[in-house]
Amino acid sequence: MRRDYSEFRARDVVVVAVGPDDARAFAKYWREEGLPFVGLPDPKHEVLKLYGQEIRLFRLGRMPAQVLIDKAGVARYVHYGHSMSDIPDNAEMLALADELNAASGPLRSDVTPGEADSAGGEDPQPTVSSHEW
Amino acid sequence: MPRVSLNAPAPEFALPDFTGRPVSLSDFRGRENVLLVFNRGFT
């Protein structure tokens, strides 16, 4: 994941890692591993419960899990792994990110800053495409 | 490994990251895709 992070960034993907440990444990782990992405301590399982309840993501024993959310805030995929070190098939997640970007219009790098700012925080409607999810 | 397609609105959340910086899902709306990674813990 660390090695591939630039590939995620190139696809406008921000990685946010959520776990039950406290901020001190996160800080230690991030320092030791040199991780470049966001670490979100969730000792009360707030985010986990939210996702478990609202989109019924998590069943017992189905951890870790990765949820890919597009720029419109829609959860597109969930992917289950086995351990922290196993984090995912990055190639597959990168391919999914490409699909999301293709479906939601131009990459941010194709948009001038002025256009991006005036977009009101919403992506343009996807153009008609024969692509199927 | 299973891969499930959802197409459901992702619940908004807001928590400080481990450095104390506030992070909300809506921070990224319209600008970034988000890969949310849930882990059991480090130990």
Residues of A in contact with B32 (CB under 8 A): 12-14, 71, 108
| pLDDT per residue as tens digits for the range A34-92 | 999 999 999 999 998 888 776 666 654 566 788 999 999 999 988 776 655 555 567 77
Q: Read off the pLDDT band of A98 (50, 70, 90).
A: confident
Subunit contact A73:B26, Cβ cutoff 8 A: yes
Out of B11, B29, B33, closest to residue A121 by CB: B29
Q: What is the pLDDT of residue A77?
A: 87
Specify if B6 maps to a domain: no
Which has the higher per-residue pLDDT, B42 or A115? B42
Specify if B20 maps to a domain: yes
Specify if B3 maps to a domain: no
Q: In chain A, what is the greatest distance between 2 CA atoms, to the nearest angstrom?
A: 48
Alpha-helical (H) ranges within A1-133 are: 5-10, 23-33, 46-54, 90-103, 113-117
| pLDDT per residue as tens digits for the range A5-34 | 889 999 999 999 999 999 999 999 999 989
Task: Please state, in angstroms and rounded to a whole number, the distance separating the CA atoms of residues B15 and B24.
Answer: 7
Q: Which domain, by its residues, includes A53?
A: 5-105
Specify if A64 maps to a domain: yes
Number of structural domains (chain B) is 1
Is the peptide bond preceding residue A113 cis, with omega within 30 degrees of 0?
no
Q: What is the pLDDT of residue A122?
A: 45
β-bridge partners, B42: none
Number of structural domains (chain A) is 1
Q: What is the pLDDT of residue B24?
A: 97
For chain B, say whether A122 makes contact (Cβ under 8 Å). Answer: yes
Q: Which domain, by its residues, includes B28?
A: 12-43
Strand B33-38 and strand B22-24: the pairing is unpaired
Q: What is the pLDDT of residue A1?
A: 65
Q: Backbone phi, then psi, for A81, in 5-degree steps?
A: -120, -160
Q: Read off the pLDDT band of B12 (50, 70, 90).
A: very high
**CATH number for position A32:** 3.40.30.10
